Amino acid sequence: MTRGYSAVVLAGGDGTRLRSLTRQLAGDDRPKQFCHLLGAETLLGATRRRARRLIAPERLFTVVTRRHESFYRPELADTAPNTVVVQPESRGTAPAILYALHRVALVAPERPVVLLPSDHYVSDDDAFMAWVESALEAAQTRPDKVILLGVAPDRAETEYGWIEPSELLLGPSPSPLYAVRRFWEKPSAPVVERLVQAGCLWNSFVVVANPGMLARLIRGAVPELVEALAPLVSRLGTPWEEETARAVYVRLPTTDFSKQVLQARPADLAVLPITGVEWNDLGDPARVLATRKRTRWRLASA
């Protein structure tokens, strides 16, 4: 199952864009990752189960936010010790990732890690995690790159980020790896049509790299964030970690990993195109409803 890889599941967001839908489905204000949007499992439960196909429990880390404790506590009751990273507040994806990377570095600093958002739908867990494993293997060959899984588009989606690949770095077999020329964040419909014709890919926000390379990427883009979290590093695993985290987070600005880190450092990135798997980001009510309709049709047709 595992070759010593680690995973970080990102589950600390507030899910405000889906609040009206999730309130209707759950009857309360729980964020989307704790909702049963597509079946018997919550999105977080499905993401963690998918990750366990490849990642050992003691190396499967989950980032949450303290105010959601009543929702995540039952979900994470069976986790390995020290693998739940509790943020005092939500300050965006970049602080969540950096905090978790410090935890990962305590147990597996030299092995690649995958970042998995908890609000994705994939049609085939085994096939998807096989692509993740290919990216983890590529990260060992190219430890100087942060690798993104790029999804072959099946529609002209204007609400996703797009990746424009450039030269081939590895491959073509078994999985080609390309450099990244640039990002296109939520492009207009005419631009999307050109991107589809040019072979561009959706940015899945599934990210693979060595922990040290990810930390360097963040430092290069937002060095002030690295410095702000520095007092927390020396307190990891001590009785003072929670208190220090509260003191650090209260001063942190919200920092988005995709917009403020990935888009700022394209030269440090690579993209591994994935095919044969239906994928959706469930951050928008229309996409959730469309995915629910497709999954019900698939079950009824089986």
In a domain, 74, yes or no: yes
How far is Cα 147 from Cα 114, in angstroms, rounded to an integer? 9
Indicate the pLDDT class of residue 302, thresholds 50, 70 and 90.
very low
Omega of the bond leading into 172 within 30 degrees of 0 (cis): yes
In a domain, 63, yes or no: yes
CATH of the domain at 112: 3.90.550.10
Q: Helix, strand, or coil here: 280? A: strand
In a domain, 202, yes or no: no
pLDDT at 2: 55
In a domain, 106, yes or no: yes
Q: How many domains does the chain have?
A: 1
Tokens matching residue 301? 């047709």
Domain that holds residue 92: 6-141+209-256+280-301
pLDDT in tens, 202-217: 999 999 999 999 999 9
Tokens matching residue 153? 């588009």
pLDDT in tens, 259-275: 999 999 999 999 999 99
In a domain, 215, yes or no: yes
For the chain, the C-alpha Rg in angstroms (whole number) is 18
Out of 143-147, 168-172, 260-264, 275-279, give the one with best mean pLDDT. Answer: 143-147
In a domain, 262, yes or no: no
Q: Is residue 223 packed enough to be buried (19+ CB in 10 Å), middle (13-18) or exposed (0-12)?
A: exposed
pLDDT at 27: 85
pLDDT at 206: 98
CA geometry: angle 165, 170, 176, nearest 5 deg: 60
In a domain, 173, yes or no: no
Cβ-based neighbours of 230, under 8 Å, separated by 6 or more: none
pLDDT of 300 > 50? The answer is: no
Average pLDDT, the chain: 92
pLDDT at 205: 95
